[in-house]
Structure 1
Amino acid sequence: MKPIKLPEPPSSTPMGVPDIFEGGVYGVIRRALVIGNGFPASENQSIGLVRALGLSEKQTLYRVTRPRGGVNEWLHWLPVSLHKKLDYILRQIYGYTQILLVGRGKKLVSLHTENGGSTGLSSILEADVKKIVAMARETFEKDGPLLVVASGRDTVSVASDIKRLASDNVFVVQIQHPRIHLNRFDMVITPHHDYYPLTPHAQEQVPVFLRRWITPREPPDRHVVLTVGAPHQVDSAALRNAASAWHDEFAPLPKPLLVVNIGGPTRRCRYGVDLAKQLIASLDNALLSCGTVRISFSRRTPEKVSNIILKELGNHPKIYVCDGEEPNPHMGHLAWADAFVITADSVSMLSVACSTGKPVYVIGAERCTWKFVEFHKSLREERGLVRPFTGLEDMSESWSYPPLNDATEAANRVHQALAERGWRLRP
């Protein structure tokens, strides 16, 4: 059996004030509060940073939720607070039992307001600024400062308000560029390609009269930590645990094992059946050097894409297509795969795969535009983390690179910033 190769855990020596101050009460952070928006790809970034800081067992998840169902599906462009007020007014007009007509398929859907609603996460706490600020102030003397980590557009106003109202009691980290003044947060962690609009090439693509509306408009300042991709929860310890947990299922498979992760088209990476056909043709060639191929889809994968792949590849003896019914094999794939093929649309999927140090091949990068071009250029040319998937690759030949570890690097910067403030973090 070919041994699996997992990256060694990085040095995690905390950077902070000298140990002589460890006994201090008011400057030691022992707990974290995560503010999410209900999207796993976004929330995993915050949880991944908290994990890298050693506070996974001492975190609480709050969530900013929007009203869902009915006309609310067309109101997601509004600020969250305004959206909720408008939803309240509509409810007064139509009544709580009134059903609104949804244009998509002429389907009737009742409105939901519960936090987590139809996703079964009603136990997640609602991100109420006043309650969070009161808790941070009231528990400060006993439990010390509170680390607040938020990610996603809908969390920006909540995180900035917490910083404004309880600046002496909290350290607020916003992941992903907030598109507002950066001094409203203690730290902003965002990928380097978010600053693509400032490059000369990007400026050429934007009409002069629109440039003032494109953000960010200023270079990163001292509040900003730039990453290559997205922070996440997958580290060497998680991979080793997954290798053990999925041993019985993956160890017997013929090697090399190629894992194919298929996302879905986005505004900046548009594709459809055309990419599926390209993938099928390329896999047909690569199969000669593969022992096993496992294909998985994301929640964003269009049905027309998954259907054609199932039709063309579902009965091949070397290929297994995950149907989404079994326990999610994602961690097992990361631990046991010898190589990956990933569609170009997902920063998160690529960031996680590149954290393994194993070969990562990208398909569809030529269909991406705007800042995604910069992201793929960074992965491919500057870091040597990925290669384009052509189907001509010999999967039995391996190559490697220093694993991408944005969460750990960002965590080190959090330690530095806390030390400058006279605080430290003690897991």
Structure 2
Amino acid sequence: MIGVPSPALAGGQGGGPSSIPPLPPHTTLRILSDGRAGHEAQTLGVAEALGLTPDIRRIAPRHVYAALAPFAPADPRDGFTHAPPYPDIAIAAGRRTIPALTRLKRDSGGRIFTVYLNKPANGPGAADLIVAPRHDCLRAANVFSPLTPANRITPERLAAARAAPDPRIAVLRRPRIALIVGGDSRHGAYGAAHIAELEHIAASLLASGRGVMATASRRTPTALRERLRRALVAPSGFFWDGEGENPYLSMLANADAIIVTGDSVNMVGEAIATAAPVYVVPPPGRRGKIDRGKIDAYLGALRDAGAIRLWSGALADWRRTPVNATSDIASAVAQAYSAFAGPRL
């Protein structure tokens, strides 16, 4: 494995912007995106931590190319994603982006430094640098293994959101509890019992005199959305139904505690980037033992690091340090790029 800054592996706060080696002036960066919000948040988080303005190119492979990715060639219709002028660095996330990333590397004559975020199905040869979180259990000389994925949650953004909270959140009484809800995935589906549990959490917190603000993801079942919408009514409750500006960052920044479902590695990682106590509601039973092991390993490592507590039905008075590996990931990218470019820098 490549050299890893210790805070990321230890589960600590991670390095700040000053710990990231500076890149040469005019370094260019291209992001290959599959359009998925979680993947794009990771790539943009790294780009922003590096201080670079990326050229974002979103792929839209046809069904056969998407289904066979990353083992199929890039869809010719996505040729613009690997067209010149070539960047110095290319970052991608999501298996459907790998064929375009491979083609970009090849067409540039190997001059581009390629980075892939998450564990590639075709192994560590998918890019010059692989950033695979520790729970992916991928080991190779070019693999960096932080505790959490990258994200766009920074102290500066959180401070700005606290200074000017979303009006729909500012009116809620304190303490304010954020309920961040995911949904169905390949790991498992939300059944009636899980939906009822989350509805009960929202209603009981509201009944206890707290302000409760909730947001759902694209994967959240309609039945769960409707239950939360009915439970979280003004003036003490708020459920974002997709209307108006997304208050997600304002929720994270202004929460006195956060309860998040454990089906999304990204959502949990973004929650613990704040200083609020974070409780994780265990996700529905996963279908595969490998997936079960990965998610349990991730949540277990965060619990051992003091970053989360598993939801047991009640809030407690405890404090924690923000955990965010984004700066460490950006530092690893900068270091590996410097070694790759060598005398050209």
Q: Give the TM-score, by structure 1 length.
A: 0.69
What's the offset of the Cα at 1:130? Answer: 5.2
Aligned to 1:12: 18
Aligned to 1:357: 275
2:315 matches 1:325: no
Aligned to 1:99: none
Identity of aligned residues (%): 24
Q: Which of 106, 115, 131 pairs up with 2:83? A: 131
Amino acid at match of 2:67: W
CA contact (8 A) 1:9 1:237 kept: no
Q: Take 1:393 and 1:260, find their aligned partners in 2: how far apart are those partners?
A: 13
Q: Which of 77, 88, 98 pairs up with 2:67? A: 77
Comparing 385-394 with 293-302, which one deviates more in the overlay? 385-394
Q: Which of 34, 56, 59 pairs up with 2:54? A: 59
Q: Which of 33, 36, 47 pairs up with 1:36? A: 33
Q: Which of 143, 146, 154 pairs up with 1:224? A: 143
Q: Take 1:414 and 1:76, find their aligned partners in 2: how far apart are those partners?
A: 27
Q: Which of 45, 50, 58 pairs up with 2:47? A: 50
What's the offset of the Cα at 1:276? Answer: 1.9
What's the offset of the Cα at 1:127? Answer: 5.1
Aligned to 2:91: 149
Q: CA RMSD in A?
A: 3.0
CA contact (8 A) 1:28 1:424 kept: no
Q: Take 1:268 and 1:274, find their aligned partners in 2: how far apart are those partners?
A: 17
Amino acid at match of 1:275: H
Q: Deviations over 1:148-177 (max 9, x none)?
A: 111100011111222233255311111111
Q: 1:307 to 1:75 in 2, by over 3 A?
A: farther
What's the offset of the Cα at 1:82? Answer: 7.0
Q: 1:241 to 1:315 in 2, by over 3 A?
A: closer
SS in structure 2 at match of 1:421: helix
2:183 matches 1:264: yes
SS in structure 1 at match of 2:35: coil
Q: Which of 312, 317, 320 pairs up with 1:400? A: 320
Aligned to 1:335: 253
Q: 1:371 to 1:425 in 2, by over 3 A?
A: farther
Q: 1:253 to 1:307 in 2, by over 3 A?
A: closer
CA contact (8 A) 2:161 2:250 kept: yes
Amino acid at match of 1:418: Y
CA contact (8 A) 2:28 2:54 kept: yes
Q: Which of 104, 119, 144 pairs up with 1:162? A: 104
Aligned residues: 327
Comparing 293-302 with 76-85, which one deviates more in the overlay? 76-85
Q: Give the TM-score, by structure 2 length.
A: 0.84
SS in structure 2 at match of 1:342: strand
Aligned to 1:303: 222
Aligned to 2:9: none
Aligned to 1:194: 136
SS in structure 1 at match of 2:106: helix
Aligned to 1:212: none
Q: Deviations over 1:123-163 (max 9, x none)?
A: xxx5536523xx12xxxxxxxx6111111000111112222
Structure 2 unaligned segments of length 5 or more: list them: 1-12, 287-291
Q: Deviations over 1:174-218 (max 9, x none)?
A: 1111222423421011111122xxxxxxxxxxxxxxxxxxxxxxx
SS in structure 2 at match of 1:149: strand
2:173 matches 1:173: no
Amino acid at match of 2:139: P
Q: Take 1:357 and 1:38, find their aligned partners in 2: how far apart are those partners?
A: 29
SS in structure 1 at match of 2:184: coil
Amino acid at match of 1:169: R
Q: 1:276 to 1:160 in 2, by over 3 A?
A: same
What's the offset of the Cα at 1:65? Answer: 0.6
What's the offset of the Cα at 1:288? Answer: 5.6
Q: 1:295 to 1:127 in 2, by over 3 A?
A: farther
What's the offset of the Cα at 1:352? Answer: 0.6
Structure index of larger Rg: 1
Aligned to 1:411: 330
SS in structure 1 at match of 2:132: strand
SS in structure 1 at match of 2:92: strand
Q: Deviations over 1:394-415 (max 9, x none)?
A: 4xx34212x2222111111112
Structure 1 unaligned segments of length 5 or more: list them: 1-6, 17-21, 86-112, 114-125, 137-144, 196-218
2:310 matches 1:385: no
Amino acid at match of 2:299: H
Q: 1:191 to 1:297 in 2, by over 3 A?
A: same
Q: Take 1:181 and 1:365, find their aligned partners in 2: how far apart are those partners?
A: 28
